[in-house]
Amino acid sequence: MAYVIGVILFALAILISVSLHEAGHMGTAKLFGMRVTRYFIGFGPTLWSFRKGETEYGLKAIPLGGFVKITGMTPLEEEEERVPESDQHRVFWRKPLWQRTVVLVAGSVTHFVLGFLILWILVSWVWAPNPAYAEEQDRARDSTTIAVSECLAADGVCDADSEPSPAVDAGLTTGDSVLAVNGTTVDDWDALVKAIRPLPAEEEATLTVLGADGEKRDVAVTPAAVEIEDEDGRTRTVSQVGITLYVDPSIPVSMTYGPVAGIGAAADFTGDMAKLMGEAIVRLPEKVPALWNAIVGEERDPETPVSVVGASRLGGEMVENDAWVSFFLLLASLNYFVGVFNLLPLLPMDGGHIAIAWYERLRSWWAARRNKPDPGRVDYLKLAPLTYMVLVVMVGFTLLAVTADIVNPITIFD
């Protein structure tokens, strides 16, 4: 039941975000006196609507987005021809370039504000990674001091039926420092891991240990074979003894900043997300084969894109496992991604309309400098083939992602 509630909540949050995106366009257009005739949530047949002033507001049957109708946004709109002469100055393209740019950017800005607001609330009062803990982890990796795991459970949760880890059986204790593995000196955590993983499973090995009491001793330990997933997503079998990196337990993993310091922390978080999203957008084309492979039965690459369906399913998993911080981090990152993606200079995205508006201004300026007549507005009909091609690619990619999210979804909890 919690899973279903999570799916519905995340899908509803996405719909609200899109609705606010369109409200951003509408609000700024009305602010500048533009003629806004329709604002609808959803697509398809109208379920309910009402009119206030010159604008019709309503809900449509397919809740997969929304739209706002601003007269004169493109030369293809016949509605502009029905505008009274007294209102012609309110048509979109007749407004100053800076006002048109603000209206077009407002949708993405709304997503950025939502994403930042979510992060600010999280880091101010709920959760934020503790930089001191990250520094302590880096320091700990330069040593070979260990923490002993009670068992080798994949999820790290031990119960009464769990077998003790080899480290427990061997008498290793948290705070010990491993100096050598089978006589080979190890100087840091990475070297220790590389020395243990290739050891033959179920065969006794010798660890030279410096105890927390300063006493040096040799410890006989029998590694166990464990399956792990490497950085390439491939599963392989390695040896483990049940030890982890020792990090000072007095340093908390997370913290909160409060409302004032939280602004800077949220900004830093946003910068990190922007870098990751930029890399993700650049890598989108190379993920197409991986999505197709997931559909035909191969293991799903966790780094492949997800659709609204996949994101909602992940949201459901997070609620089911009480991972609310992850739920809102995913929602914030999705808002940022949609905001950035919508500014790409391609029609039918807002970024495409912005690019055309500025191109028109540059072209008019250049014509004036050469004493040539103003070439006027760009012919959108000539751009129709490119627009349709972009739409086909977007729809195809979306269908591919939706299909993969249905038949072979990404999961983050076992």
Per annotation, catalytic residue among 22, 136, 317, 360: 22
What b/e string do you get for 2-38 counting C-beta neighbours within 10 Å, with b at 16 or more?
Answer: eeeebbebbbebbbebbbbbbbbbbbbbbebebbbbb
Residue with tokens 């019709």: 56
Report d(CA 63, CA 97) in Å as an integer.
Answer: 32
Report d(CA 243, CA 246) in Å as an integer.
Answer: 9
CA 183, 137, 181: angle at the middle one, nearest 5? 10
**Within a 10 A sphere around the Cβ of 413, how many other Cβ atoms?**
11
User: What DSSP state is assigned to residue 247?
Assistant: -
Amino acid identity, residue 315?
Answer: G
Residue with tokens 């997070």: 318
Q: Which helix (H) or strand (E) holds 327?
A: helix 324-341
CA neighbor of 175 nearest in space, from 245, 77, 239: 245
Tell which phi-psi region holds residue 204, choosing left (phi > 0), alpha (psi between -120 and 50) or beta.
beta
CA 321, 325, 330: angle at the middle one, nearest 5? 95
Contact in structure between 30 and 112 (CB atoms under 8 Å): no
Is 22 catalytic? The answer is yes
Q: Which residues are catalytic?
A: 22
